[in-house]
Amino acid sequence: MADDRDDSETTPAKGVSRRGFFTAVGAGAIGAATLAKAQPGAVAPLAAKEEPATITLVVNGRRRRLLAEPRWTLLFVLREKLGLTGTKVGCERGECGACTVLIDGTPRYACMTLALEAVGHEITTLEGLMHGEELGPVQQAFLAEDGLQCGYCTPGQVMAAEGLLRANPEPTLDEIRLGMSGNLCRCGAYAHIFKAVAKASQLRKAAGGEP
Amino acid sequence: MKTRELYYVDGAVPQSDAPERSPRPWGRTRVVGRPLPRIDGYERLSGAAVYPSDVVLPQMLYGAIVRCPHAHAKVTTVDAGAAAKMPGVRAVITGATPAADLRWYYSPTVVTKLFDPECRFAGEAVAAVAAETPQQAWDAARAVAVEYELLPFVVDEHKALAAGAAAVQPGGNRVGEPVRYARGDVAGGFAAADKVLEATYSTAAEIHTPMELHGCVASWDGPRLTIWESTQGVYPVQQRVAAALGMPLANVRVIGRYMGGGFGSKLQADKYDLAAAVLAKLAARPVKLFITREESFVCVGNRPPMTMRLKAGVKSDGTLTALEMTVLGTGGAYPAGGTSLADWLVRDLYLCPNVRTEMTDVFINGGPARAFRAPGHPQGAWALEQMMDALAAAIGMDPVELRLKNIPKVSQARGGQPYTSTGLDRCLTEGAAAFGWSQARRRAKADGPLRRGVGMAAGMWVAGGGGPPSTIVVKLFADGSANLNMGASDLGTGTKTVMAMVVSEELGVPLDRIEIENADTGTTQYATASGGSKTVPTESPAVRDAALAVKRQLLAIASDELKAPAEALRIEGDEVVSSADPAARRQIARLEGLQRRGVLVGVGTRGPNPEGKIVNPVAAQFCEVEVDTRTGVVRVLRFLSANDSGRVMDRLTYESQVIGGITMGIGLGLTEQRVFDRQTGTMVNANWHDYKIPTAMDVPADIVAVPIETPDDEANTAGAKGLGEPVTIPTAAAIANAVYDAVGVRVLDSPISPMRLAPLLSAARQGGGR
């Protein structure tokens, strides 16, 4: 097909009202406002949904600079632009947790986070839990207890477990359940996931609490 | 039972040649049966595994499908002009696009088009677009202007045959003649009974919703098409796509090395494959087309809802005298097995001389059903196993005892052919003992608002024996490491791990020195789709045959070099040793003949199943629940599953199958149901908030697997039967029986939601019940 027209990626910016921004991105903008308040100096710029902006994300300790549309989710950018496909896409509506990443150490749904909102925050993905080529303790525990089946929800489960254990290094079974309740597993591996999180708690402790 | 439906192929099921020799049964094993972690666990946990939805190709576009929002409508005009001019849009296809004028069939006689002018359910494909980003693709999809002529619809299967009901298909709403089965004298059986009970049970439609969405990446290389597909079977996808596009099979390569769950909904190609292929062709760019989560609820299958009237007669000593069942079900708007196998347990689970069943499958304006983990069986169990519980209560007998009274050793519904093995009695007795059934039954229910109860149910799976075809290639490299090549997908059941264990068992190669190549029509051997609980019993004998073919060559080489007869040689660790002369031994990696050859290749196939015998797995499950009588909330406290699936191949992934099947059964029993809006005919809960699958809060941590391990050496050379489906068949019924035990209320319709149970509890209280 001929590339005979300009795409919006290259269209110059037009004036955008604050109202237009909220209309364009919906509820995500509320999150942006909240995050921005918590982190002065990291205010997400207002822009049209298709107008690309250069942003810098800190992912797994590295700064990644890219051109992103304001409507792009962190999930989309991680997977399709940065090649970090350890983060999975399950629903894109905040229901399943397959896209769970850590933002400043706390589990968050990457599908409900705009890439712009993540600017100025530390993002950790499944790949960021690796010790070089070695699995980290939570990953090792999931392997040993078979806390996975098809493996597609697994990266999200691992990130949720990592976040839980950072906040609560020795959770009870009820705390594990609650901590993992934002992550669906259709293969139904939950009973093994509970065991895996308990084992991960021990492995992390043995490793001195390091992720 | 070798049907096209279970193997999901168009036309005849292909054959593979039987192996030339049949090895002795394993007896004691060294590797097989141990609790070993997954061979691909590292890839799945590190993020290194590339699932089809992870594929990103240079220049790749993103596709989206425009779907009909109406339950029944005729497409009058499609104006894609505005959409085609939108930013980033590279291709738009509609029913008027010549390249997209493709046939799509549901049966040999029910044929539609990729974009058919008549939309028979909300969610039918109408057009598709490809753009530089998914956001642009969706903007364009929304801008495709479609005008519809609305037609009358019916989404309630109970109204589908009523006079004046909207016709879903031109021939009316019956999917063929009712399926009838009868044996013995049913009227006589009821007359001879001491107790006859009758009830109508129903199960709601359940949606598969695997975690990885359905979809593919399609990429052309001139006349050749490569499709990365999230699928249970790369070969069925290749077959369908090649046929639809009129291409040679060799030019359609389907790759699905990893896949994120299917449960039966990914056994076949889908319209999105054709849409992606045509968009990619027209745009001359690769196209990634994965459907959205909302779409996954309406257009890629479901477990058909069923209404089951069941009448049963029993003597006071527990002998079943007659069973009579009528079933109404629907597979949606196209022929899709709306009552498929729903009566199988009534026909064959228990000894009963007099049985009659009749099943009526009707069309409604709903998405077509697809096979869903043991098609028809959990529904049938919901009816039969609640009925057995009620019969036991009616004659004052323990429910386990009643079932033990009626254990068949032959398949009554298949001409009395014997089972190669059936451990149903052991599942019941050993399961009950491990659960502490008798003690738990006697325990007080407590007087407060929280009441505890226990329940059990049994089941069998009509297939699960596997069979040909399967072809496997095992290569042994000069250093003694191995490569296993098989066509089968690993759905997360542990197929790859189990097959590597079989290679290790025969050749002594440690698992970390076995590389597996699978699920790729370009490079791996023919396999039917993974499904029907047939993958382990189908593939492991073929893997064993291939490994043995390598072993024979290896021992022949060693025999020359050690000057010892091959029959006296065996593999011990990384050496070949002679049983006759312990000094005669050599490291495999140092065999000169192997070095010279570089690689030994063994080809294995799956031999036929035993003539005149039936291979079926069986199960019994036990559970304890707590019912809050104020709210109707049911909590499952613990579960136990005793399964006879023959030899346990990997004790760890075996347990995973058990907990997974039970978890899915908890969904069927307690939370899952498709809800149609009767006014619009559309599904109102097509998302995971409103359609609730079990979460970590809904399942017990205490789930115990009790393998009743009797290697079935008559069934196949691995001694294994299927497991993945039997583990979910009795679950929902066991929960319903436990709820009855707890509160004395029988819930005949699934799911047992608080919304359903609370009014029943209230009615029971008013009626003087407890």
Tell me the per-residue pLDDT of B81-90, one tens digit each, with 9 for 90 and over.
999 999 999 9
> How many beta-carbon contacts under 8 Å exist across A and B?
200
Considering CB atoms only, which of A7, A177, A190 is closest to B132?
Answer: A7
**Is cis: bond before B751, omega within 30 of 0?**
yes
**ipTM passes above 0.90:** yes
Domain range B466-605, its CATH number among 3.40.605.10, 3.30.365.10, 3.40.50.300, 3.20.20.70: 3.30.365.10
Q: Can you give the length of chain A in residues?
A: 211
Residue, of B698 and A47, whose pLDDT is higher:
B698
The whole-angstrom distance between A70's CA and the closest CA on chain B is 11
Cross-chain Cβ contact A184/B46 below 8 Å: no
Considering CB atoms only, which of A69, A93, A187 is closest to B492?
Answer: A187
B650: chain A residues, CB-CB within 8 Å: none
> Please, which pLDDT band fits residue A37 given cuts at 50, 70 and 90?
very low
Mutate which: A187, A192, A193, A197, vs B, most B CBs within 10 A: A187
Cross-chain Cβ contact A143/B688 below 8 Å: no
> Please, which pLDDT band fits residue B7 given cuts at 50, 70 and 90?
low
> What pTM, to 2 d.p., does this model score?
0.94
Looking at chain B, which residue has its C-alpha nearest residue A73?
B135
Spell out the domain ranges in chain B.
52-151+209-298, 372-463+612-766, 466-605
The whole-angstrom distance between A42's CA and the closest CA on chain B is 25
For residue range B601-627, what is the model confidence (pLDDT) as tens digits? Answer: 999 999 999 999 999 999 999 999 999
What integer best gives the mean pLDDT of chain B?
Answer: 96
**How many CA atoms within 13 Å lie on the side-chain side of B584?**
17
> Please, which pLDDT band fits residue B18 given cuts at 50, 70 and 90?
confident
Residue B58, pLDDT above cutoff 80: yes
Strands B252-255 and B224-229: parallel
Output b/e per residue, B23-46; b: 16+ Cβ within 10 A.
eeebeebebbbeebbbbbbbebbb
> Please, which pLDDT band fits residue A171 given cuts at 50, 70 and 90?
very high
Spell out the domain ranges in chain A.
16-128, 130-206
Mean pLDDT of all residues in B529-542: 96
Mean pLDDT of all residues in B443-448: 80
Residue B761, pLDDT above cutoff 80: yes
CATH of domain B52-151+209-298: 3.30.365.10
Confidence at residue A31, expressed as pLDDT on a 0 to 100 scale: 39
Residue B709, pLDDT above cutoff 60: yes
DSSP character string of B445-485: --SSSEEEEEEEEEEE-S-----S-BEEEEEEETTS-EEEE
The whole-angstrom distance between B79's CA and the closest CA on chain A is 19
> Please, which pLDDT band fits residue A178 given cuts at 50, 70 and 90?
very high
Confidence at residue B647, expressed as pLDDT on a 0 to 100 scale: 98
Confidence at residue B124, expressed as pLDDT on a 0 to 100 scale: 98
Mean pLDDT of all residues in B32-36: 98
Single-letter amino acid, residue B540: S
For residue range B156-181, what is the model confidence (pLDDT) as tens digits? Answer: 999 999 999 999 999 999 999 999 99
Same fold, A16-128 and A130-206: no
Residue A45, pLDDT above cutoff 70: no
**How many CA atoms within 13 Å lie on the side-chain side of A31?**
19
Considering only CA atoms, give the Rg of chain B. 27
> Please, which pLDDT band fits residue B5 given cuts at 50, 70 and 90?
low
Helix, strand, coil tally for chain A in percent (to 5): 40, 15, 45
Mean pLDDT of all residues in B688-699: 98
For residue range B276-323, what is the model confidence (pLDDT) as tens digits? Answer: 999 999 999 999 999 999 999 999 999 999 999 999 999 999 999 999
Phi-psi bin for B157: left (phi > 0), alpha (psi -120 to 50), beta? alpha
Cross-chain Cβ contact B47/A90 below 8 Å: no
Sheet containing strand B306-314, edge to edge, reads: B179-183, B355-362, B320-330, B306-314, B195-203
For residue range B574-601, what is the model confidence (pLDDT) as tens digits? Answer: 999 999 888 899 999 999 999 999 999 9
Mutate which: A149, A180, A185, vs B, most B CBs within 10 A: A149
Mutate which: B36, B211, B663, vs A, most A CBs within 10 A: B211
A187 touches A193 (CB < 8 A): no
CATH of domain B372-463+612-766: 3.30.365.10
A94 touches A112 (CB < 8 A): yes
Domain range A16-128, its CATH number among 3.40.50.2300, 3.10.20.30, 1.10.510.10, 1.10.10.10: 3.10.20.30
**Is cis: bond before B759, omega within 30 of 0?**
no
Q: Which residues contact B696 (CB under 8 A, 6 or more apart)?
A: A176, A177, A178, A180, A181, A183, A190, A193, A194
Confidence at residue B121, expressed as pLDDT on a 0 to 100 scale: 98
Domain range A130-206, its CATH number among 2.60.40.2470, 3.40.50.1580, 3.40.50.880, 1.10.150.120: 1.10.150.120
Considering only CA atoms, give the Rg of chain A. 19
Strands B287-290 and B61-67: parallel
Cross-chain Cβ contact B699/A188 below 8 Å: yes
Same fold, B372-463+612-766 and B466-605: yes
B737/B514 Cα distance (integer angstroms)? 46
Residue B503, pLDDT above cutoff 70: yes
The whole-angstrom distance between A82's CA and the closest CA on chain B is 10
Q: Which residues contact B536 (CB under 8 A, 6 or more apart)?
A: B466, B493, B495, B498, B649, B718, B720, B722, B723
A178 touches A107 (CB < 8 A): no
Confidence at residue B769, expressed as pLDDT on a 0 to 100 scale: 46
B413/B492 Cα distance (integer angstroms)? 33
For residue range B222-281, what is the model confidence (pLDDT) as tens digits? Answer: 999 999 999 999 999 999 999 999 999 999 999 999 999 999 999 999 999 999 999 999
Give the tokens for residue B629. 């009588």
Confidence at residue A33, expressed as pLDDT on a 0 to 100 scale: 38
The whole-angstrom distance between A55's CA and the closest CA on chain B is 18
Say which residue the tokens 């695997």 belong to: B210
Cross-chain Cβ contact A85/B51 below 8 Å: yes
